[in-house]
Structure 1
């Protein structure tokens, strides 16, 4: 029996909200700016009430999007804690969408905002989890000149969140899944750092390149450089760099170390060029692939017809080229939405 695997950045699945940090941004947008509010505390109380309503709308849509992946194993990004994951599964996935994922895995990683990678699995797929969050650039031999120029130390931790290694069995055969969430393309300019570009993507690419190289090293260390191609493994997650932008190939990217030399197969390439997107960035009005299901050469060869399905019914209406896609109830022009990412799923048989 094959297994269906999905990846989904659920966009800030949190139990907290820092009003103090975001107060200026809140004053610049949103319905509360249409009202005459006498003081800061009243503004914050009203914003809390508004946020509860919009969060409920968003998480209903997130649950419906996960439901529509029909996945046995769901790899998630941007989850605050195991408690939040359990609550989301209970009150949204189970109560709303009638889904049951008894196996839940989340290990606290390195993100400063406290967003972690996680996984859910159906009863037939018990999963063991191992974190690699503590590994440094030096540990994996991925430190280089570009990282040094960016002010990063070789003793710093290589993963911005984690590379969560999951092990399960499918029809008695082993399957390993690596859940990742690489460094974003955003950054804060630090004084004294000689940045060689004004493009945030270019400036942050060395970090993603190192993360991708680190994941490759972890896989090769486990299965061997020769054995990795023959093993059953999948890399899932938001890798925060685009191989495809509006259907066109982009090079170089921070994902390249995972693709170079045929190390893995990017299954989205089996779709038509115009379908190779999972994320919409409104500032530049472009659609890109930020989310990946990369499989070993053995799994790709054993599943020649496996094509990923991308669930777009939770995307807001402002995304271009989506007029014919049905939306979930209460989806808005910009918000509510399921996430700023689309979940993607594929069905695979083991070697």
Structure 2
């Protein structure tokens, strides 16, 4: 099984006059850029998925099911990839519509935790009755594997106030896994997604509850300078918010499973990437996203 996790950066379908059209891979402070960059971005997003050839695709920042279906049935075939027969984008808690989405070649069983509260999980929080997750923790079960795909609170606009939110999301994800499995260390599960941990080597990560020994960080199978998955064009900084955290049993069963960071869709301004770029990538835009995709192959699953 080939599994791709990818923050696709604000994928939203809008009506432009009487024509539907996808927003580009851009943040909201880039609204003055040329409109023809939007479809070019999304062709590159589709091309990156075609390059990955994944059986299971976990997307972050998808507006809704209509957006996902348009991308899946219109853009993926144009990129040479068959549409995924199973495509889901349940509503989460992000008021801007930045939801989690799943596309799969095989049937999947989904469990949303968007409405789970701290009280439901027995966690301590300032408001026990509010949803814990800013988007969701979506449990995806397929082929003997359980994946928990997440998109935690970003460290913006104030890192100090965002950190405890992200810490609570990590604690909640761990509690969900512990309740799902009697012995989490012996089950086959994977946490995949944008956990939004900023790059601060000397700081205790907010996502510490999910890190070893509870899990095995598969990204550490890469050389340290090859783990980066994100480029912030405003600050010029690189980071690794995108994670693959496996159960100890999964990590032991697939010791040869080394993640691949797919950076071919990043803009040329991310100069640490010296490999090939997809045709049409620009200095800043067009690009597939400001995140790279992270691909993992579990042979025989």
Relative to the length of structure 2, the TM-score reads 0.91
CA distance in 1, matches of 2:230, 2:15: 24
- 2:115 paired residue among 126, 134, 138: 134
Q: Residue by residue, what CA displacement relative to the aligned partner does 1:20-49 show, whole Å, maximum 9, x if unpaired?
A: xxxx9568x54xxxxxxxxxxxxxxxxxxx
Q: Please list every run of 5 or more consecutive structure 1 residues that lacks an aligned counterpart in the other structure.
A: 31-49, 188-199
- The answer (yes or no) to whether the contact 1:6–1:71 under 8 Å persists in 2 is yes
Report what 2:214 is aligned to.
263
Q: Please list every run of 5 or more consecutive structure 2 residues that lacks an aligned counterpart in the other structure.
A: 17-22
How big is the shift at 1:333? 1.0
1:1-351 correspondence runs (5 A): 3-16=1-14, 25=29, 30=33, 50-51=34-35, 53-122=36-105, 125-144=106-125, 148=126, 153-169=127-143, 174-187=144-157, 200-224=158-182, 227-242=183-198, 244=199, 249-260=201-212, 262-322=213-273, 324-349=274-299
The structure-2 alpha-carbon separation of the partners of 1:214 and 1:17, relative to structure 1 and needing over 3 Å to count, comes to farther
CA distance in 2, matches of 1:25, 1:163: 28
- The answer (yes or no) to whether the contact 1:106–1:117 under 8 Å persists in 2 is yes
Secondary structure, aligned partner of 2:146: strand
CA distance in 1, matches of 2:220, 2:13: 36
CA distance in 1, matches of 2:238, 2:123: 30
CA distance in 2, matches of 1:76, 1:143: 30
- The answer (yes or no) to whether the contact 1:82–1:106 under 8 Å persists in 2 is yes
The structure-2 alpha-carbon separation of the partners of 1:142 and 1:350, relative to structure 1 and needing over 3 Å to count, comes to farther
Report what 2:19 is aligned to.
none
Secondary structure, aligned partner of 2:7: strand
The structure-2 alpha-carbon separation of the partners of 1:25 and 1:303, relative to structure 1 and needing over 3 Å to count, comes to closer
How big is the shift at 1:154? 2.1
Farther-moved stretch of structure 1 (89-98 vs 298-307) = 89-98
Q: Which has the higher helix share?
A: 1
How big is the shift at 1:202? 3.0
CA distance in 2, matches of 1:327, 1:101: 25
Secondary structure, aligned partner of 2:169: helix
- The answer (yes or no) to whether the contact 2:151–2:193 under 8 Å persists in 1 is yes
Aligned residues: 291
Relative to the length of structure 1, the TM-score reads 0.78
CA distance in 2, matches of 1:77, 1:201: 21
The structure-2 alpha-carbon separation of the partners of 1:319 and 1:207, relative to structure 1 and needing over 3 Å to count, comes to same
Secondary structure, aligned partner of 2:14: coil
Aligned-pair RMSD on alpha carbons?
2.1
How big is the shift at 1:314? 0.6
CA distance in 2, matches of 1:240, 1:17: 31
Q: Residue by residue, what CA displacement relative to the aligned partner does 1:156-175 show, whole Å, maximum 9, x if unpaired?
A: 11000001111111xxxx21
The structure-2 alpha-carbon separation of the partners of 1:26 and 1:230, relative to structure 1 and needing over 3 Å to count, comes to closer
